[in-house]
Amino acid sequence: MANIALLNRCNLRCPYCFADSYVGSEGDDITIDTFIELLDFCSSEGSVGIIGGEPLLYSKIETILEILKQDFRFHRVSIFTNGIFLDKIAGSLNSKKLHLLINVNSKKDIGEKAFSRLEAGIEEALKHLPKSNVDLGINVYEGNQDFSSLLYLLEKFQLKRLRVSLVIPKDKSEGGIPYFLRMKKTLLSLYEKAKELGVCLGYDCNAIPECVFTEEERSFLDTLPYENQLEREIFTGKRSVCSPVVDIYPDKTATRCFGMYDKARVSINDFKSLEDLKNYFFKEVDCRIINNYPGEKCKDCYKNKTFGCFGGCLCYL
């Protein structure tokens, strides 16, 4: 899959976000002509993500949505948003190919006013989209994190899917495995609450390796509801790798993923197709980085040596 960034501005400054240096000015926003060109480049897979910054800040977002709704090459369009401006575009969400992934931040982080607008925006969006097209997401970034705002929205709107991402800390000196060991209690508490609500889990990034969990914890993880078998394998640590999800920016450069914004950035003009670009990232990023072991015990691990496990996100390496 590929994501197209409409702009690099955001209305929030989340405490966990590592994209501070990415946030720019309105002059960096994508043009409609460039957006159409990037759609052509991404069309082979039939699905595309729309990202930012915060994509709903884009002044021509409704034009973008109309282009996407009418483009027969795409059967699924995922819009990644913090949801605060959903009320602006709810009337344009009149297509079953449009899917929302709303990243929920707590009242503590964004304030009562922004959270109330998020809540109202979700309500408005659900007047135009089926519930199956609206997913909530959460970035887990601190121990004993308060998930009450997220759980409130899941329960109020009876949404049954949750996308989870364990944040990659700005300071990576701790290392992936120790970080996972420190954060897993918080993750497990979230999973338990999601299970009580009958919420189906999916993973975004930074999957935890199997060796981090105890046998008892793995047994618990196996009882949770998941979107599919692949997600079950990711959550239980049996599959802790990710294939390249290419992020493409308004200046027609692309990265292996947003977390590698400063590490592996190339021009799409140097590639014949999206598949060609993804193969490049796999060979020049994944295959090279995987030789740097995230932990001492990873050196002799068969799964690590055979690309069955990265020992956490490649951004750690």
Please, what are the domains in the chain? Answer: 2-316 (3.20.20.70)
| 130-149 per-position pLDDT tens digit | 999 999 999 999 999 999 99
Residue 311's pLDDT band (boundaries 50, 70, 90)?
Answer: confident
First to last CA, the chain: 23
Question: Could you tell me if 2 and 50 are in contact, meaning their C-beta atoms sit under 8 angstroms apart?
Answer: no
Bridge pairing between strands 246-248 and 2-5: parallel
| 71-82 per-position pLDDT tens digit | 999 999 999 999
Question: Could you tell me if 49 and 3 are in contact, meaning their C-beta atoms sit under 8 angstroms apart?
Answer: yes
DSSP state of 226: B
- On whether the pTM is more than 0.75, the answer is yes
- Res 290: pLDDT: 67
| 78-104 per-position pLDDT tens digit | 999 999 999 989 999 999 999 999 999
- Res 238: pLDDT: 85
| pLDDT score of 22 more than 60 | no
More confident residue, 160 or 237: 160
Vertex 125, ends 40 and 113: CA angle to 5°? 115
**Average pLDDT of the chain?**
89
More confident residue, 280 or 308: 280
* CA–CA gap between residue 125 and residue 88 (Å, rounded): 10
Cβ neighbors of 212 (< 8 A, separation 6 or more) are 177, 180, 181, 184, 237
What strands, in cross-sheet order, belong to the sheet with 134-140? 200-203, 161-166, 134-140, 98-103, 76-81, 47-51, 2-5, 246-248, 253-255, 265-267
Residue positions counted in the chain: 317
